[in-house]
Amino acid sequence: MLSDEEQIRALVQTWQSATKAGDIDAVLGLMTDDVVFLVPGRSPMRKAEFTTLSRVPLDGPRPKFESTSEIQEIQVSGELAFIWTKLSVAITPPGASQPIESAGHTLTVFRRERGNWLLARDANLLSPVGRSDA
C-alpha cells in the first residue's frame, strides 16, 4: 500500500497527465465537491465554474497543455494534507503559435474522503512568464 505522501504525489502526476490529455472527467474526480481555487485578481472559483471553463465542445479544438511540477514540501496530519509546489504551465490556445506561460508557486490542501486523497483548496500564485522573441 502506498504511503500518504506517495498517494499525494501520484494524484499530482495523474492531474498533470489527465490535464495534458484533455481528460477533464479524470481531473474532476481528483477534487472534492466543495473545492475552492484561489487565483490572484479574481474571486474564488468553485467546482462548477472550473468544470465550465475546462470543458471544450466535443468537436472543438483543445488547447495544448504542458506543465512541470516540483513538490517542495508535503505535510500530512490526519485527514488533511498540504503541499507547496513550484509550478510552470504553458498553454497554447487553438490556432495560436506561441504558448501562454506562467510560473510560480501553489499551496494545495488535500482531504482524505472514503480513503482517497482529493484536492480541496488550491492557492495558485502563478505569474506570467515574459518572453523574449529574438
pLDDT tens figures, 71-126: 999 999 999 999 999 999 999 999 999 999 999 999 999 999 999 999 999 999 99
For the chain, what is the mean pLDDT?
94
Q: What angle do CA 2, 113, 124 make, to 5 degrees?
A: 85
Q: Which of 21, 10, 12, 115 is nearest to 69 (CA)?
A: 12
pLDDT tens figures, 32-78: 999 999 998 999 999 999 999 898 777 778 899 999 999 999 999 99
